[in-house]
Amino acid sequence: MRAVLVTGAAGLIGSHLCEAFAQAGWKVRALDKPGSDCTAARLAGATVSAAELAQPDGALAAAELASGARLIAHAAYPGPNELYEALASARAAMAAALQARASFLLLSSTSVYGRPRNLPCEEGEVKLPVDRHGAIRWAVEREAFLWRRTRGLELAVLRPALTYGPRQRRGLAVILAIAALAARSGRALWLPRRGPVVHTVHAQDVAQAAVLVGSDAGTLDGRAFNVADDVPLPLEELARAVLQAAGAREAGRLPYSPRPARFVLWLAKHLPEWVLWAPLNRRIARAWRMAFGGQPPVPPPRLEPDLLEQLSADRWYDTQRLRALGFAPRFPSAVEGLQQLALQSRTHGLLPSAQPALAP
């Protein structure tokens, strides 16, 4: 049986990788930091281990876990402020792949392109990341390609677009949760008029692409693949899809002009946290606790300024290279994907109902 080691197995993409590889008949070994919630990986049948990959002991643990594996799928990502840890984790995983003579599949991001000059953006587009997230992703990619050239690492790279799905704690899932709170309180929300084009992808489709590429990683050595759904949406349509999935009402449309909007987004992104983001997140946390009677099943959603960069310029990506391998997304657009995510989250009690329950 083919074996795969998945790093970052507790994360949004990592947990879906464990499920997809297990469903495809692979023996899955999952690795993440001590204390991480790897419930999804365990339920998928993965053998779960805990180690700090960026530390020497963690690197040794990764090497042991990689023994006999055919593929190392590296989805571990410490965050946009942890360049040293991101590079150290990647080096440990790559060293484990070399020792095991396994292929290395790096889960990166389309944020490495920054604001693409040519649309749709192909894999060969110049890499000009404009935020810390993209800069760290690109630094890890450069390190991986350096190891390929100098040490013979068999490397393939996936670059997912803006990703959403179950178990997400940031990004679109946060916006969906906030829209659900608005629906519960009966508040209508305003939408931008058109706005920039945003390209998304469901985490299950990222995992499907990983299985597809990982199964033939040896012959795809040195290649990178954009991963996105079929239908990039203007911001207005994406926001409307979020409202419809959450059951919230639309108040109307606000004019959107690219240059003033970009300035406002830049200002909001660079304001000190105590001025805007901390008070806003406190209000969201209070509403979240009230929606669940003081005992929410998961921590409250938290808005982060990094998401604003995704809304500041047109972004859509060419996926023909991946489609040539037979890739077809299960969720062709965020409209279907967000509806499914909201339904699944409410079914499991992870999203507040659209209306508060009436007293008997």
DSSP state of 137: H
Cβ burial, residue 275 (10 Å; 0-12/13-18/19+):
exposed
Instruction: Please report the DSSP string for 211-231 in residue order.
Output: HHHHTTTTTTTTEEEEE--S-
C-alpha–C-alpha distance, residues 302 and 13, integer Å: 19
Q: How confident is the model at residue 269 (pLDDT cuts 50, 70, 90)?
A: confident
Query: Residues 166, 344: contact at Cβ < 8 Å?
Result: yes
Q: Where are the domains of the chain?
A: 3-163+201-227, 169-198+235-313
Integer CA distances (angstroms), 18 to 28, 185, 295, in order = 6, 37, 30
Q: Are 197 and 234 in contact (CB under 8 A)?
A: yes
Angle at 155 between CA 325 and CA 217, to 5 degrees: 35
C-alpha–C-alpha distance, residues 166 and 312, integer Å: 25
- Give the tens place of pLDDT for each residue, 287-324: 999 999 899 998 888 888 877 787 788 999 999 999 99
- Look at domain 3-163+201-227 and name its CATH class: alpha beta
Is residue 212 within 8 Å of 325, Cβ to Cβ?
Answer: yes
**What DSSP designation does 163 have?**
E
For residue 277, CA distances in Å to 133, 287, 304 come to 18, 15, 7
Q: What average pLDDT is seen over the chain?
A: 93
Q: Which of 163-177, 226-240, 273-287 has the highest mean pLDDT?
A: 226-240
Question: Is the pTM here over 0.85, yes or no?
Answer: yes
Judging by beta carbons within 10 Å of its beta carbon (0-12, 13-18, 19+), is residue 242 exposed, middle or buried?
A: buried
Residue where the block lists tokens 């840890």: 85
pLDDT of residue 167: 87
- pLDDT tens sequence across 121-130: 999 999 999 9
Distance (Å, rounded) from C-alpha 314 to C-alpha 293? 40
Q: What are phi and psi of 95, to 5 degrees?
A: -65, -40
